[in-house]
Chains A and B, each alone.
Chain A
Amino acid sequence: MATSLRCFLRSGKRAGLVAAQRGFSRSSAAAVQVNVRDALNQAMDEELERDERVFLLGEEVAQYDGAYKVSRGLWKKYGDKRIIDTPISEMGFAGIAVGAAMAGLRPICEFMTFNFSMQAIDQVINSAAKTYYMSAGLQPVPIVFRGPNGASAGVAAQHSQCFAAWYAHCPGLKVVSPWNSEDARGLLKAAIRDDNPVVFLENELMYGVPFEMSEESLSKNFTIPIGKAKVERQGAHVTLVSHSRFVGLCLDAAAVLAKEGVDCEVINLRTIRPLDVECIEGSVMKTNHLVTVEGGWPQFGVGAEICARIMEGPAFNYLDSPVTRVTGVDIPMPYAKILEDHSLPQVKDIIFSVKKTLNV
C-alpha cells in the first residue's frame, strides 16, 4: 500500500498516464487538422451510415469519387443504390431527387456547381420549396441540394455566380453557407437531418483549406443549429458580418486593423435563411457600426437584406453611421485575372470600408 503510494508521488508523468487510463478528465482534447472537403466527406459518410434512407446523387459522385473529390470512397463503401451517378441533366436528376424525397427517402442532390442549378431551379423552388406549404403540411420534402457556390478561379461569367440571395429570397427553403470545416460538418449533418429542403452552399476555394477541429466537433452526433450565426472574433468598434469564404478575409482584415487600434467583431452568418438577426442586432448595439461583406452582387443581395432588417429593428437607433456593404462588382465575372481579382472583395476593400464607416 505504502509502496504504491510512493510510486504515485515519485513520477508525475506516470500519475498522468494512470489518470488517463482511468478516464479522468484531461485539460484539452487533441485538435486535429481537417480540411473542408474531408469534413463534408465524413459528415456524409456518417449520415449515410446512420440512416439508410439517405442517399447521394449527382454528376460524377460515384465512380469518379466526386468532381471535387468530396464524395471520395463513398461509392466503394455504399454501392450503386446509395451513391448514384446521373447524366448531365440537372433538371432531370433534381426532379428525380425531389420525387424521391416526397416518397420518403432523404436524398442529397449534388450540383457540380450552383450555376448548373439554374437549369433545375424550377425543381428546387416549385417542387421542393413550396410543396410543404401548398400541401398544408401533408407533404414534406426532406432534401439537401449541395455544391460549390460563387466564384472559383478563372472560370468566367457563367461559372462564377453566387446564389445565396437567389435562394434565400424563397420561403420554404433553408439556405446555409458554411465557412470552415466545423461549419461544413455540423451544418451538413443538420441539413441532412432536417425535414425541410436545404440549399447547402459550399465554396470550391475552401475545399482544400485545413482547419483545427475539436474532439467535440468530430463526434458522430455533432450538429450546428441551422439559423444561428457565430461570433468568430469579439470586438468593440465595428461589426463585420459575412458568410462563406469572406469570413476568412474579414478575420484577416481584423488582424491588420487591430494593429491600428481598430477592434473588429466578426460574425460568421453560417445560415443565410433564416437570418440570425438577433445576433447581428446584439453586436451592432454594442459596436454602433456595421459593414457587411459578401461575394455576390450588391443589388437585392445578402448585405441589402441585412441593412433592411437592421433598419426595421431596435439596432437602428444604435448606429453611428450608415451601414456599408462590401460586395462583388455589379458585372458578370470577367475572365482576365486582373479583372477577376478586382471583381471580388479583397482584404484591402474591407479595411477601406471599415475606416470609412468609422471615419478614421
Chain B
Amino acid sequence: MKTMLAIISNALCRITGKNAVSGSRCDLHGLEAGPPVRAELTREQGLQYYRTMQTVRRMELKADQLYKQKIIRGFCHLYDGQEACAAGIEAAINPSDHLITAYRAHGFTFTRGVPIKEILAELTGRKGGVAKGKGGSMHMYAPHFYGGNGIVGAQVTRKPVDCIKVPTTSIHS
C-alpha cells in the first residue's frame, strides 16, 4: 500500500505521467517464461486503482456500520484493508478470465463488475441484490466470478479447470 501510494505520488509529479514498476525474477518450473519483471503504471491507471480501492473501502466501512446496527444479519466478512488484492488481481487479468474466492468476497464482487447498490442490497436482504437477497454476504456471483464460498477450502478444488484460458479447439484436432 505504501509503495503503491509512493508510486502514485511520484507518477502525479512527473510531467510525462508514466512510471515503471519493477518486480523480481522468480524461479520457473514447467514454464517457458515467467511474468514480466517490468510493468508500466500510467497516471490514469494509478488513479483508477486508487479509486477502486477507495470505493471498496467506503463500501466496507458502511457495511460494518450496517452490521453493527443489525441491518445486515448472519455473517459479514469485510474487505477493508485488503482492497489492494482485488484491485491488483483485476489489473492483471481480463474480465473474461475466471475468478473464484473464499468467503471474504465483497471486494472481488465489486471489481468483477457488480454495482455497489446491488452489493449492499444483497447484504441487506433486498430483492435488488445481486442474488435477489437469497445469497447473502458470502454468496454473490457475476459473469466469470464464481463467488463467494462459505465452506473453507471449497474454493481451492472448485476452481474452474483452465481458469486462465478456456480451450476453444477440440482435443482431436
Contacts and interface: CB of A to CB of B under 8 A. Distances in A.
Given A153-B74, A154-B74, A335-B125, A159 B134 contact: no
Nearest to B76: A154
A88 B151 CA distance: 10
A337 B74 CA distance: 10
Contact of B135 (A115, A118, A335): A335
Interface residues of B, number: 20
Given A115-B151, A118-B151, A155 B74 contact: yes
B104 interface: no
A2 interface: no
Contacts of B136: 154-157, 335
Contacts of A89: 153
B151 A334 contact: no
Contacts of B57: none
A158 interface: yes
A183 to B, nearest CB: 27
A154 B73 contact: yes
B125 A337 contact: yes
B139 interface: yes
Interface string A58-98: 00000000000000000000000000000011000000000
A156 B132 CA distance: 13
A156 B153 contact: no
A86 B74 CA distance: 24
B151 A119 contact: yes
B120 interface: no
Contacts of A159: 74-75, 150
Contacts of B152: 88, 116
Nearest to B150: A158
A336 B133 contact: yes
Nearest to B136: A335
A335 B74 contact: yes
A209 B89 CA distance: 46
Nearest to A160: B74
B125 A157 contact: no
Given A115-B151, A116-B151, A336-B125, A153 B138 contact: no
B135 A157 contact: yes
Interface string B144-166: 00000111110000000000000
A118 B149 CA distance: 14
A134 interface: no
B75 A339 contact: no
Nearest to B124: A336
A116 B136 CA distance: 18
Given A158-B151, A159-B75, 13 more contacts: A89-B153, A153-B74, A157-B134, A158-B150, A159-B74, A335-B73, A335-B74, A335-B122, A335-B131, A335-B136, A335-B139, A336-B125, A336-B127
Interface of A: 88-89, 115-116, 118-119, 152-159, 334-339
Q: Which 7 pairs show the lowest CB-CB distances between chains A and B?
A: A154-B73, A154-B74, A335-B136, A336-B125, A158-B150, A336-B133, A156-B136
